[in-house]
């Protein structure tokens, strides 16, 4: 296991070296950051994680049959899983950390916990494949931007119409994918006969699963917005429309990411996507490296505010009315 981890870091650094080789490193000497747009990155990332938390909580509430659980505790574990994604593959952190939380602190069974976080992840994968097809038409220059945008609208609109009409069937389709995941040797060996403990019933009220898909689409748009703000912050000529179509290409590379924090994979995928839409090479290197630094900064800032919030919240709840009165009297 230790040598496997070392190998992943070597691969990550090797891919990062390829990115440096492809670009003009001297361009980094002229790097200038517009911090007002970094604030936009911060807000869009916060909204992205908050919406992710709300979606996951709705899934857990439906599966467990319990509602009214504390949203803040869910948010804390979601953001922790994103932070841990910087030292391990992101899918491992997003699924593993939250499964542990539900089993350990919410006393949800391991199969139900794993099902909730896997379903949550599969919703993102489903939206990814929906937007990928129109994006390919744009990236490959088969269609101009206006026609590609019309295709995107028709394609996504048709998807939501069908899934709203057949939302239970869409849920069963994702459940079938989940069962296929359970058949993977690495999962099957850990479940040890507990895979059938989940009750395979449709757990959502009418329109509930369609709402999850809508939130997933909103998450994607927030990701596009953050990508656009990143370009503005680094003075890279990247329009919102280009960001809309280029994100699926970058996400496609992330699907095969095995490096900690997608290091090297994210940068190389971003390089290839920006090259395909004719962004100047001197700007590409500035973007892919600046993106890594700024996203790390934003995530660390969010985790800092998260800890500060919970520290103040716990101190406030620890005070009784007498303590509060004496505090203000002083």
In whole angstroms, what is the distance from residue 53 CA to residue 219 CA? 11
**pTM (two decimals):** 0.84
pLDDT of amino acid 330: 47
pLDDT of amino acid 327: 45
pLDDT of amino acid 78: 87
Which residues in the chain land under pLDDT 70? Answer: 1-2, 4-5, 23-30, 68-69, 87-91, 184-200, 254-257, 261, 313-314, 317-330
pLDDT of amino acid 36: 94
Q: Which tens digit of pLDDT belongs to each residue from 16-74?
A: 777 777 766 666 666 788 999 999 999 999 999 999 999 999 998 888 877 766 788 88
pLDDT of amino acid 317: 65
Residue ranges covered by each domain of the chain? 35-314
Show the 3-state SS of the chain: CHHHHHHHHHHHHHHHHHHHHHCCHHHHHHCCCCHHHHHHHHHHHHHHHHHHHHHHHHHHHHHHCCCCCCHHHHHHHHHHHHHHCCCCCHHHHHHHHHHHHHHHHCCCCHHHHHHHHHHHHHHHHHHHHHHHHHHHHHHCCCCCHHHHHHHHHHHHHHHHHHHHHCHHHHHHHHHHHHHHHHCCHHHHHHHCCCHHHCCCCCCCCCCHHHHHHHHHHHHHHHHHHHHHHHHHHCCCCCCHHHHHHHHHHHHHHHCCCCCHHHCCHHHHHHHHHHHHCCCCHHHHHHHHHHHHHHHHHHHHHHHHHHHHHHHHHHHHHHCCHHHHHHHHHC
CB 172 within 8 A of CB 200: no
pLDDT of amino acid 38: 95
């Amino acid at each position: 296991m230790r040598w496997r981890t070392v190998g992943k870091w070597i691969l990550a650094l090797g891919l990062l070296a390829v990115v440096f080789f492809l670009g003009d490193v001297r361009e980094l000497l002229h790097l200038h950051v517009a911090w007002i747009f970094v604030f936009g990155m911060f807000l869009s990332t916060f909204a992205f994680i908050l919406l992710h938390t709300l979606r996951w909580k709705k899934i857990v509430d439906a599966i467990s049959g319990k509602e009214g659980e504390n949203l803040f505790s869910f948010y804390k574990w979601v953001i922790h899983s994103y932070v841990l994604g910087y030292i391990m593959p992101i899918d491992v952190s997003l699924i593993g950390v939250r499964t542990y939380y539900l089993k350990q602190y919410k006393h949800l069974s391991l199969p139900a916990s794993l099902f909730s976080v896997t379903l949550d992840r599969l919703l993102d994968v489903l939206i990814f494949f929906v937007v990928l097809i129109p994006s390919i038409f744009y990236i490959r220059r088969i269609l101009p931007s206006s026609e590609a945008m019309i295709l995107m609208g028709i394609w996504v609109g048709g998807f939501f119409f069908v899934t709203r009409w057949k939302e239970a069937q869409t849920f069963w389709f994702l459940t079938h994918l989940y069962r296929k995941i359970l058949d993977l040797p690495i999962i099957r060996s850990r479940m040890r006969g507990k895979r059938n403990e989940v009750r395979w019933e449709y757990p959502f009220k009418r329109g509930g699963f369609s709402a999850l898909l809508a939130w997933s689409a909103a998450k994607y748009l927030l990701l596009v917005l953050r990508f656009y703000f990143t370009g503005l912050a680094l003075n890279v000529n990247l329009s919102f429309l280009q960001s809309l179509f280029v994100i699926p290409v970058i996400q496609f590379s992330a699907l095969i990411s095995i490096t900690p924090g997608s290091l090297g994979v994210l940068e190389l995928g971003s390089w290839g996507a920006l090259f395909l839409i004719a962004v100047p090479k001197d700007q590409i290197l500035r973007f892919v490296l600046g993106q890594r630094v700024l996203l790390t900064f934003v995530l660390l800032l969010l985790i800092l505010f998260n800890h500060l919030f919970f520290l103040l919240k716990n101190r406030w709840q620890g005070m009784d009315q007498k303590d509060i009165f004496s505090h203000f009297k002083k």
